[in-house]
Amino acid sequence: MIRLPVDTASGERLDAYLARHLPDISRSQAAALITAGHVRLNGTVPRKSEKVSPGDVIEVDVPEPVASTVEPEDIPLVIVYQDKDLAVIEKPAGLVVHPAPGHARGTLVNALLHHVRDLSGIGGVMRPGIVQRLDKDTSGLLLIAKHDKAHRALSAALKKREIRRAYIAAAWGHLREDHVTVDAPIGRSPTDRKRMAVVPTGRHAVTHFQRLERWPAADLIRATLETGRTHQIRVHLLSIGHPVVGDPLYAPHGERGISGPAQQWARMFAKRINRQFLHAAELEFDHPRTKERMSFVSPLPPDLAGAVDWARASLSGGGRRGPGSR
């Protein structure tokens, strides 16, 4: 039970006042507590929109986080770093992040509930807070919050573009320049609800692309996000005519669009890729509690690294490395 006298906030809504004075509670959570009857204003049950005045006394009975309905599962998971506030993990390709219809088990959240035992609750539930999204078939670094305060701070930092994220991708064809920025709004495709697209009514989206290596029919690219829209890298590369290699949604059999002397190379390269060539390779952010700058780098997993090795070995057949070659 928390007792909170009101001093100088005359006329402020009750839910807003609670969110401002209780550091571990958001405004939506404060509203939920009021609606559920866990808040008293001067001894009576208030409305969430009720105004507070100096001299009022607020009592809040904050319930313990409830157990998640998602079952922990012993799914192999690489934890790169963790402390009492957050964790950074390596998400393997093929692993769905959240339980959903058709994926009630075998998700990243199931794995985290098994491997991370000191969760203190997100939104009143004992579960991890996924700060940024990764598609099922995208591998790489993922940031996890262990409690509400960390989740709100990291989510706010992501919204303010204070979290730096960079990806490694392979894309069909060749960028027109070694550095290309795509600034184009992304929204739901008007013709296919499973796909996103560059549409005038979409949300603002900016991606910076740097060619690392140039191969006979594809480029190895570093993609840096300014915004975090669904499928952003995949959609932006598609919009400039260079879809991600192995992307089953936006470029199934993309190698078939390659003609001329590089056609055979493209077909051989495609056979070495059994999923979309997209890896979350770099993650940098300020720790929500210590404010220390945290930086993590993830090498390409074996499936993608093997394809890169093959592509590099083929350079004598007409490819060349770009300015950022590794």
Question: Residue 254 and residue 211: Cα distance in Å, rounded?
Answer: 19
Q: How far apart are the first and last CA of the chain?
A: 57
Question: Residue 76 and residue 132: Cα distance in Å, rounded?
Answer: 21
What does residue 106 show for φ and ψ, rounded to 5 degrees? Answer: 70, 25
Q: Is 135 a catalytic residue?
A: yes
Question: Residue 158 and residue 137: Cα distance in Å, rounded?
Answer: 22
What helix, strand, coil percent values describe the chain, rounded to 5?
25, 30, 45
Question: Residue 8 and residue 169: Cα distance in Å, rounded?
Answer: 54
Of 15, 56, 85, 135, the active-site residue reads: 135
Contact between residue 247 and residue 253 where contact means Cβ atoms under 8 Å apart: no
DSSP secondary structure letters along 18-67: HHHH-TT--HHHHHHHHHTT-EEETTBPPPTT-EE-TT-EEEE--PPPEE
Query: CB-hemisphere CA count at 13 Å for 139?
Result: 22
Which active-site residues does the annotation give?
135
